Structure 1
Amino acid sequence: MTQGPHFKIALIGASGLLGRAIANELAAIIRWQVIRTAFRHGNPSTITLDIRDEGAVRQFIADQAPDAIVVAAAERRPDVCENDPVLARALNVDALGFIASAAQEIGSWVLSISTDYVFDGTRPPYRPGDTPNPLNAYGRSKLDGEQALLRSCARSCVLRLPLLYGPVIDWGESAVTGLTPAIVASAHGVGPAVMDAWATRYPTFTPDVAVVIRQLLERHEVGESVTGVMHWSGDEPMTKFDIAQRIAQVLNIDARITAQRTPIDATPRPRNSHLASDALEVLKIGQRTPFDTAIRTVLQNWPRPTSL
């Protein structure tokens, strides 16, 4: 195990909602070398990599020979996965198999991101050893990806996360900030914003997740690698209806928000898939920013929506 300035990390999927937060967190650790990849939204400091291309993935890992690989690239939109299961499998399952196999050959530790949607939401809170039962194609693809990684790479960790939000490039990057246009429109007389009040979610701030990942990397750096399945989650239960009200308060607008108390999504979703985070908390790993504080930061750092 190399340490200090020779500790090299490959961050695959550095341009996405979570990837950007991880990149920012890791950039502060000057003793580490972080190699970032992106598929479409790269920049001069980022290597373009299509994780569906097995040859390119294997070549990248062989050339860079990282001590650790963080995989933040995925197809995370449930409706897209439902309608395009081939794409979901290519990104969420097959790509992880390529990465795991190449990492195993050079002894890299791999951390991959998964989801609370591997559970059916009927018996929360869920611990890492609980039996998954995904309700949709997204959850199935992520579960298959977990198994592909853990089966092929002995030194690997799956980090399951719930609904994520954080600094965004556009509102739709997160299902939390994605509520904002309808909330703002409702305050401009377009009609009430109808928000789900059936499913309980645990919104989790991406900079907090980035701290968890940095702490896991620090353990790996000193030879105390965490392996297997781990959970991390925010600890404030709320429905999208609740979230929308909190966003309206932060924006200080008189939004008209209506509660939808039965599920209407075309793609089935779990009602409450709360992830228990005790296993990481015991390791003194974790950070949680209160939702109101975090969402205020996100909304204040984005041009104020007016007539979206």
Structure 2
Amino acid sequence: MKRILVTGSNGLLGQKITEKVLGEGRVSLIATAKGENRYPVKEGYSYAEMDILHPEQVKAVIEKYRPDAVIHTAAMTNVDICEESKVLCHRLNVEAVATLLSVCEEKNIQLVHLSTDFVFDGADGPYKEEDAVNPVSYYGQSKVMAEDLIKKSKVNYAILRTILVYGISHDMSRSNIVLWAKGALEKASPINVVNDQWRMPTLAEDLAEACLLAVEREARGIYHISGKDYMSIADLVRKVADYWKLNHSFINEISSASLNQTAKRPIKTGFVLDKAIKDLGYNPHSFEEGLVILEQQMKG
């Protein structure tokens, strides 16, 4: 059984990987994050505190546990904060990757790295893996820099790019678009939603499955991993309203330009999923199926 070490295990994706491993037992897991373990079940896997900004700690933890693969989910993902705090963004999204690469290279460990649709400019989505990158934000730039470092290394790597991940986890520190829209509409709070950006939202469980498949199949190269449904952000929010029978009249459609966000967003991303389906056996849920899974989890 392969041993995998996960960075950022307290995040939504990290928790879904833990949940999957505990439920299915396909691999042996070492979960790592900055600070204490926030996942409620503490048995059935190892946990180690590991701050990806401290190279010595990263090296010590990886040397202690000797994993076959590292799944790197930890990153700075708030697009506007990345734009405002470029130095910290570079440390978390680029320098931390360089640290992991040096250890993985030395120990011959596979690296499964999470990247983003924001490496593209959004002029011509949906995108294939080999399409040219052209980020419009510093967040996107930082992820391109990390991808470039990985591609130049001698490490066996799989880069999984993903889009707008949604789901629910224990003790969530951050919300996501589905939970935000549901919560606001339940309170009858008016929300501004852009109608000129298109995405393929990704269920966190599907992304966790893709991470494990990449390890099990020793995947190499870049893979596009997302949900299968292509929609505008406004459509996405309307689907959330429809599913939970909430009032559409609180949804205020606006253009991206009127939001005055610090960082620019790509207009149309979306992925062609053929490679992941063929090479990994990836089989994502539809958006509606994802909402059903979410509702079941909320009921506990």
TM-score where L is the length of structure 1: 0.87
Preserved CA contact (<8 Å) 2:210 2:280 = no
Structure 1 regions of 5+ residues with no counterpart? 220-224
Q: Partner of 1:176 in structure 2? A: 178
Structure 1 residues 66 and 270: CA distance shift in structure 2, 3 A: same
Structure 1 residues 172 and 295: CA distance shift in structure 2, 3 A: farther
Q: Partner of 1:103 in structure 2? A: 104
Provide the C-alpha distance between the structure 1 equivalents of 2:183 and 2:173, rounded to a whole number of angstroms. Answer: 8
Preserved CA contact (<8 Å) 1:184 1:255 = no
Q: Secondary structure of 1:154's partner?
A: coil
Of the structure 1 ranges 136-145 and 244-253, higher mean CA displacement relative to structure 2 is found in 244-253
Preserved CA contact (<8 Å) 1:49 1:57 = yes
RMSD: 2.0
Q: Secondary structure of 2:99's partner?
A: helix
Deviations 1:200-233 (A, max 9, x none): 01101010111112222211xxxxx221211112
Q: Secondary structure of 1:302's partner?
A: helix
Question: How do 1:18-167 residues align onto structure 2 when only pairs under 5 Å count?
Answer: 18-30=13-25, 32-43=27-38, 45-167=46-168
Of the structure 1 ranges 277-286 and 82-91, higher mean CA displacement relative to structure 2 is found in 277-286
Q: Partner of 2:231 in structure 1? A: 238
Structure 2 regions of 5+ residues with no counterpart? none
Deviations 1:104-162 (A, max 9, x none): 10100110000000000011221111110000011011111112222234311111001
Provide the C-alpha distance between the structure 2 equivalents of 1:153 and 1:181, rounded to a whole number of angstroms. Answer: 46
Q: Partner of 1:222 in structure 2? A: none
Q: Partner of 2:5 in structure 1? A: 10
Paired residues, number: 290
Q: For 2:271, give the aligned amino acid.
A: L
Q: Secondary structure of 1:167's partner?
A: coil
TM-score where L is the length of structure 2: 0.90
Q: For 1:184, give the aligned amino acid.
A: E
Q: For 1:179, give the aligned amino acid.
A: A
Q: Secondary structure of 1:252's partner?
A: coil
Q: Secondary structure of 2:199's partner?
A: coil
Q: Percent identity?
A: 27
Structure 1 residues 40 and 80: CA distance shift in structure 2, 3 A: farther
1:251 CA displacement = 2.2
Of the structure 1 ranges 172-181 and 67-76, higher mean CA displacement relative to structure 2 is found in 172-181
Of the structure 1 ranges 267-276 and 175-184, higher mean CA displacement relative to structure 2 is found in 175-184
Q: Secondary structure of 1:104's partner?
A: helix
